[in-house]
Structure 1
């Protein structure tokens, strides 16, 4: 299976309850995911000032600059790492899949427990020689890198205070898009100005709140068009569009086809 041979795993592992410190470590020709799943870590590159954060979170190491990292004095950390190199990795770099930074190194994760499970799954695959095991490990690595690259850039204090509530709100909107959502009220509930709420929501979810709500309503409308015989006017009302004309115009703008044509292609007969 030559398709996955352009990536080599250099080393991997995890350590629990350690207080070691790596000073000016050089990663010669390879990159690494460094995941702190519990405890504090101090990390910096070159002559930049140290950054101290509390896990769970991740930073990415790579060639070209020295990295210093470890536990602040009197503390311990729980850490897992996965290092890799190869032509495929260079494509990751060019496409922006690997976030290379020299400052603001620590990246928060929306679901750190799931991230750790996937990382351990890679470790399990790498213990068994074989082309299929290697291929699956590469695919899981790409999932991990995608999760890292899509995380919001947000200061720890803001992330810890608001991320949970904003992600819960996102999930509620996705579950019940037909409710009469009022984002000014949601902002007030979090003691945020509306402008600040919109900015934080986009940082955490990558969507502006209004755009996310519209996307969820359109997906709900698609499901109804495919799975029911409801009239288009009824679907427009169900998904909280002003009327059938408004719904049809927005639907076609976002999907390039009208609701009636979409139904004729994908709906039940």
Structure 2
């Protein structure tokens, strides 16, 4: 999904700056409504939760639509959040940020054809509250944009670990997303530090970002993936903790083959 590839979500609250990223020939511009701030990677939990509800309905052959309804309580439990009065206020603010954040990008079809589109992260939202005696029951309704709905119904959505919601640092969440997108079920994935920095959407200076990656490589507590930083080459490697998948085994064989070829080349150069 595009939101794993491109940094649609801010890593800190209150970010109102228009941001632009380039990945090859693709340009992504992200802006927020005045005074609201960009949707954050923690606001994205609503997105992930709504997508999972929709995917569950698809898997069970149930009727589906772009509007997904759920109780705040179930959302809080699923995403490992406190169930306090403040949590309800934060939920409403997060919905507003999702509604107010827009993405503009270009889609390249060929050398001669491309289009520029702009879309929101959600189309609309509402919270319906009903009083039944002393019990107040709230229901949240989120209408997903058509582009996201089409992506969910036409392609297989990558599943994430339930432990993702226990990750407390925004940058660590983003690094997990990139690992999930590019490493997936393969053995490992290696990327240069500066390219990884660009993909995260971090607003910290590169040296601070490098420090964060180095610290994470020491704790190594990301779900599903190990992370390793080579300080001599400034390369970051994500390694799948589960090496028993067919994809991981095939990837491991490819990496072993590459190492053997490299070894042979070095031997030939010595002669």
User: Which bracket does the TM-score occupy, shorter chain normalised?
Assistant: under 0.3
- Determine which structure has more spread, i.e. the larger CA radius of gyration: 1
Structure that is richer in strand per residue: 2
- Give the helix-richer structure, 1 or 2: 1
Instruction: Report the TM-score, using the length of structure 2 for normalisation.
Output: 0.27
- The normalised TM-score by structure 1 is 0.27
